[in-house]
Amino acid sequence: MARFIATAFLFIGIIVAVPFSVARAQTAGPQFLVTWHASGSYVPPGYPDKALPNRASRITASVEVLSGGKQVSLAGQTIYWYLDTNYIGGGTGAESITFSPDQPPPATLDLEVKLPSYNGQAYTHDVLIPLVSPVAVIYAPYPNGVFSAGQLDLKALPYFFYATSSDALTYAWSANGQPGTNVESPDEALVSLPPGAQSGTSVSVTLAVTDPVDSTVATAISNLTYNAL
């Protein structure tokens, strides 16, 4: 069965926090860039955006300072990091920090970096990081949810689970309330219509994706309509 990569996804509308410079001590001065990435947040191959952290993810953030368009060494600078106003680490040359959110999603994490004495000035910069729950998507390649073949070919797309691969997750499918399994490819479902099905027949497919490590579950539903040719 062909593998599918989602070309449209509900999280495309999420705007991930983009680094921008804010110097609270003065309006002109060095430019601060804070970047971050999450580990322990699975996304399917081909997903073009940043993997968003879940509750168990590890987040690594780094700060850079530009002055006159050039990167400045922070090796001798005192740098402090705060998460939602709580101190989480820092020290001389602490240009990066790794931490776990350890709070229930959905939430927005406020990560703050402080340079208390950079060129005799105190600077603070904030970046907002979205914290999300795992998401399950049913990929059904049927425009407007209408199909004409006698068999539906569906695929599960899990996002933001604390897993290293989709094979580490478990999948439960049902069609119109009838459970089904696919031993060879649990993340795929083949749904056959009964003989003599009429145009307008509706098929409601549900999916539950579970991470057996932490029992996290995400569900999805797709309503499709048969149109006989």
**What CATH number has the domain bearing residue 207?**
2.60.40.10
107 and 28 share one domain: yes
Radius of gyration (C-alpha) of the chain in whole angstroms: 23
- Of all residues in the chain, the percent with pLDDT exceeding 90 is 79
pLDDT at 196: 87
Q: What is the pLDDT of residue 5?
A: 32
Q: What does the pLDDT read at residue 8?
A: 33
Is the confidence at residue 3, as pLDDT, over 80?
A: no
Whether 99 and 37 share a structural domain: yes
Using CA atoms, how far residue 110 sits from 63, 69, 107, in Å, is 15, 27, 10
Q: What is the pLDDT of residue 20?
A: 35
Residues 103 and 206 reside in one and the same domain: no
DSSP 154-181: EEEEEESBS-SSGGGSEEEEEETTEEE-
Q: Are residues 122 and 170 in the same domain?
A: no
pLDDT score, position 183: 83
The whole-number pLDDT of residue 28 equals 59
What does the mean pLDDT of the chain come to? 88
- Does residue 204 sit within a domain? yes
Look at residue 129 in the predicted model and tell me its pLDDT: 98
Domain count, the chain: 2
- Specify which residues 143 forms β-bridges with: none
Q: Domain range for residue 209?
A: 135-226
**Per residue in 83-132, pLDDT tens?**
999 999 999 999 999 999 989 999 999 999 999 999 999 999 999 999 99
Q: Where are the beta strands (DSSP E) in the chain?
A: 31-39, 58-67, 70-72, 78-83, 86-92, 96-99, 107-118, 121-131, 135-139, 146-147, 151-159, 170-175, 178-180, 188-192, 202-211, 216-226
Judge whether residue 23 has pLDDT over 70: no
- Same domain for 116 and 218, yes or no, is no
Biggest CA–CA distance in the chain, Å, is: 81
- Residue 112 falls inside a structural domain: yes
* In the predicted structure, residue 15 carries a pLDDT above the cut 70: no
Q: What is the mean pLDDT of residues 17-39?
A: 66
Residue keyed to tokens 């009838």? 178
Do 69 and 167 sit in the same domain of this protein?
no
Average pLDDT value for residue range 36-47 = 96
- Least confident piece of the model among 13-17, 78-82, 178-182: 13-17
Whether the Cβ atoms of residue 34 and residue 112 lie closer than 8 Å to each other = no
Is 7 inside any structural domain? no
- Overall average pLDDT of the 163-168 stretch: 95
Same domain, 158 and 145: yes
The Cα–Cα gap between 135 and 213 comes to: 16
At 29, the pLDDT band (50, 70, 90 cuts) reads confident
Task: Note whether residue 169 is domain-resident.
Answer: yes
- Six token digits for residue 35: 């970047």
Q: For residue 3, is it within any domain?
A: no
Average of per-residue pLDDT across 176-180: 92
- The residues pairing with 204 across neighbouring beta strands, listed in sequence order, are 223
Instruction: For residue 175, give both structure tokens.
Output: 């069609």
Same domain for 148 and 214?
yes
Banded pLDDT at 25 (limits 50, 70, 90): very low
Do 107 and 163 fall into the same domain? no
Cα 206 from Cα 69, distance rounded (Å): 52
What is the CB neighbour count within 10 angstroms for residue 204? 12
